[in-house]
C-alpha cells in the first residue's frame, strides 16, 4: 500500500520525535540516578523504552506501506533540572507537545482521506491520553509528598 509523500515525511519526523523523547527520558533518568533517586530513574527508563517502542511502531508502519523510514539527527536533550517536580512538569509539557504532533499527523491523514493511517494513529491518540494522565498523577504525588519523597521513589521504581 502506497502512502502519500507528505504523510510519509510527517511520520518520519514523528519517529525522530519519539526517539528524541526516549533520549530526553534517558537524560532525566541519569539526572535521577545521579541524585540517588533510583525509583524515579527507573520510571524514566521505562518511559524511554515506551518511546522507543512508539518509534518502532511508526517505523514498522512505514515499512508495511512499502516506503523507507529515514533516521534524522537527534538534538541534545536538557541534562539539568532543579527538582523532581521540575522534571515531571517538563515531562508533562513535553507529552503535551507530542500529543499536538500526533494530532497534526491525524489531521494530515484525514485531509488525505487515508483511513488506514487514521486507524493506526488512533492507538497513538489513546496512548497520549494515558501518557499525560500518568505524568499528571506523578506530579500530584510529588506535591503531596513534600520534602519526603523516599516512599514515592520506591513506588515509582515498581512501575511496569
Query: Cα separation of 29 and 94, whole Å?
Result: 15
Taking domain 5-156, whether its CATH number is 1.20.1260.10 is answered by: yes
Residue ranges of domains in the chain: 5-156
- What is the pLDDT, as a whole number, of residue 160? 64
| Total-model pTM | 0.94
**93: exposed, middle or buried (C-beta count within 10 Å: 0-12, 13-18, 19+)?**
exposed
Mean pLDDT by 10 residues, the chain (160 residues): 92 98 98 97 97 98 96 96 97 98 98 97 97 97 90 88
Structure confidence at residue 41 (pLDDT): 97
Report d(CA 116, CA 65) in Å as an integer: 10
Distance CA 4, CA 61 (A): 13
- Which tens digit of pLDDT belongs to each residue from 25-62? 999 999 999 999 999 999 999 999 999 999 999 999 99
Amino acid at each position: 500500500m502506497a502512502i502519500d509523500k507528505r504523510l510519509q515525511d510527517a511520520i518520519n519526523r514523528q519517529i525522530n520525535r519519539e526517539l528524541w523523547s526516549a533520549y530526553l527520558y534517558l537524560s532525566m533518568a541519569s539526572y535521577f540516578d545521579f541524585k540517588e533517586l533510583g525509583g524515579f530513574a527507573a520510571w524514566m527508563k521505562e518511559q524511554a523504552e515506551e518511546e522507543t517502542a512508539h518509534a518502532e511502531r511508526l517505523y514498522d508502519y512505514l515499512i508495511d506501506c512499502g516506503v523507507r523510514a529515514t533516521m534524522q539527527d537527534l538534538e541534545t536533550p536538557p541534562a539539568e533540572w532543579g527538582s523532581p517536580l521540575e522534571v515531571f512538569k517538563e515531562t508533562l509539557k513535553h507529552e503535551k507537545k507530542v500529543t499536538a504532533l500526533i494530532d497534526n499527523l491525524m489531521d494530515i491523514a484525514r485531509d488525505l482521506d487515508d483511513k488506514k493511517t487514521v486507524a493506526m494513529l488512533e492507538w497513538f491518540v489513546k496512548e497520549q491520553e494515558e501518557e499525560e494522565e500518568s505524568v499528571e498523577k506523578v506530579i500530584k504525588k510529588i506535591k503531596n509528598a513534600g520534602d519526603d519523597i523516599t516512599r514515592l521513589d520506591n513506588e515509582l521504581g515498581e512501575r511496569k
